[in-house]
Structure 1
Amino acid sequence: MSLTIYLSGEIHTDWRQRIIEGCRDFDFSFSSAVTNHEASDAAGDVLGDEAKSFWRDHKSAKVNAIRTKNLIEKCDVAIIRFGDQYKQWNAAFDAGYCAALGKPYITLHSEDIIHPLKEVDAAALAWATSPEQVVEVLKYVASDN
């Protein structure tokens, strides 16, 4: 089975690469939001300078949304990663968008943030605590057995 997988969320660890590497023997394609923090923050800068950071962020969020909306709409399944160091509000938004579209998603996060993510996890079809668990779920989904 061929799957298109969208990888959303935390950008400060190697979780994406671990999933991609673990799935190398399967017919999966992967996509993601821009993971370069500075580039993402500057996505709207080509549209002109802003005196207030709110408007700079607003424009960049909209430019980034062109990419993320299209990739989420085209994916078969999304992996939504919440890391320990930062709050990934964008990942929560992506999860909500997946839920609204009826796109299956898997959350990936540690046990210590179960409570704040209870609604996000309730709509997920699986919750994993490691990229390796995500790989095993994806392999199972794609298997012929």
Structure 2
Amino acid sequence: MKLNVYLSGEIHTDWRVQIIQGCQDADLNIEFSSAITDHEESDSAGDMLGDGQLDEKQGFWRDHKSAKVNAIRTKTLIAACDIAIIRFGDKYKQWNAAFDAGYCAALNKPYITLHSSDIIHPLKEVDAAAHAWATSVDQVVASLKYLCK
């Protein structure tokens, strides 16, 4: 079975690389996709748009335009995936990841959350809609191995 897996969430650790490597080591037939993980590139995704009338180089309008451009990619890839892995790190709040989880739930796309036990409470609604909760990359890889059988 071939899976299309979308990797969503925090961008400050190499968890994506670890999952991809673990799945490659297990010879799993998985295609991975993700949002843009370069922070500056993501923040500037909409800089080419507009006429310069709305203070577009900073603040709300820059973020607004870039979020919309990034959403084109995110919505398309989530719609095309079979399952999403949504990672919540401990250092930063990943509101975008929570939004991706809600979008998956709205589309009835299965997703696995990946986070430590110390943030269970703030993610209770996100975890309630998830099909699984993992605390480690190894658990995610093991789940994907099972799904690919």
TM-score (norm 1): 0.97
Q: For 1:29 and 1:142, locate their aligned partners in 2 and report how far apart those are by CA, in whole Å.
A: 12
Does 1:141 pair with 2:141? no
How much does 1:90 deviate? 0.2
Question: Residue 13 of structure 2 aligns to a residue in which SS?
Answer: coil
Structure 1 stretches lacking a partner, 5+ long: none
Deviations 1:34-91, CA, capped at 9 Å, x for gaps:
0000000000000034415101100000000000000000000000000011000000
Alignment partner, residue 77 of structure 1: 83
- The residue identity in structure 1 corresponding to 2:86 is I
Q: Mean Cα displacement is larger for which, 110-119 or 48-57? A: 48-57
Does 1:10 pair with 2:16? no
Structure 2 stretches lacking a partner, 5+ long: none
Structure-to-structure mapping, 1:94-133, within 5 angstroms = 94-133=100-139
Does 1:63 pair with 2:65? no
Count of residue pairs the alignment pairs up:
143
Structure-to-structure mapping, 1:32-51, within 5 angstroms = 32-48=34-50, 49=52, 50-51=54-55
Question: Residue 48 of structure 2 aligns to a residue in which SS?
Answer: helix
Q: For 1:132 and 1:14, locate their aligned partners in 2 and report how far apart those are by CA, in whole Å.
A: 13
- The residue identity in structure 2 corresponding to 1:22 is G
Q: For 1:141 and 1:68, locate their aligned partners in 2 and report how far apart those are by CA, in whole Å.
A: 23
Q: For 2:141 and 2:131, locate their aligned partners in 1 and report how far apart those are by CA, in whole Å.
A: 14
Over aligned residues, Cα RMSD in angstroms? 0.8
Q: For 1:114 and 1:92, locate their aligned partners in 2 and report how far apart those are by CA, in whole Å.
A: 13
Q: Give the share of equivalent positions with the same residue, in percent.
A: 75
TM-score (norm 2): 0.94
Q: Mean Cα displacement is larger for which, 21-30 or 49-58? A: 49-58
Structure-to-structure mapping, 1:23-38, within 5 angstroms = 23-24=23-24, 25-38=27-40
